[in-house]
Amino acid sequence: MQTVVGVAVVRDGLVLAAYRPDGGWEFPGGKVEPGETDEQAAVREIREELDLEIKVGDSLGPGVDISADYRLHVYLATAVAGDPVLREHSELRWFAPSELDENDWLEPDRPFVRALRKQL
């Protein structure tokens, strides 16, 4: 099973989310390449997708199966340089913790939204 990393990027108490045209908010990220750790993949994916530099922190819980082939792991991260650039999604938004309604998120991301709310 291949690992996909999502990244809950936090800056000034707000969480960055990306909107997928096919139906909901998600934590940006992507596939872990062979030879990469989850953390290395998170840094690379956020740099490629958003032109943002991050420092990866703790996992937000156990992985969630997306399909028979992919498992999602989401990590907390701090934005350390840059401003996010919209490249692969239809919208980017910074959410306050009180605005994080898991029903607006893609199904695999929802348990991580709950975990994130408890930590912020």
What is the rounded distance in angstroms from the CA atom of residue 79 to the CA atom of residue 64?
24
Average pLDDT of span 41-50: 97
Asked whether the predicted pLDDT for residue 58 surpasses 90, the reply is yes
Average pLDDT of span 14-38: 93
The reported pLDDT for the residue numbered 20 is: 85
Domains plus CATH for the chain?
2-112 (3.90.79.10)
What is the rounded distance in angstroms from the CA atom of residue 113 to the CA atom of residue 60?
9
The reported pLDDT for the residue numbered 83 is: 94
Cα angle 29, 60, 120 (rounded to 5 degrees) comes to 105
Contact 90, 20 (CB under 8 A): yes
The reported pLDDT for the residue numbered 96 is: 94
Asked whether the predicted pLDDT for residue 39 surpasses 90, the reply is yes
> Could you report the per-residue pLDDT of 62-117, keeping only the tens digit for each?
999 999 999 999 999 999 999 999 988 889 999 999 999 888 899 999 999 999 98
Confidence band, pLDDT 50/70/90 cuts, at residue 47:
very high
> Could you report the per-residue pLDDT of 10-21, keeping only the tens digit for each?
999 999 999 987
The reported pLDDT for the residue numbered 88 is: 83
0.75 surpassed by pTM: yes
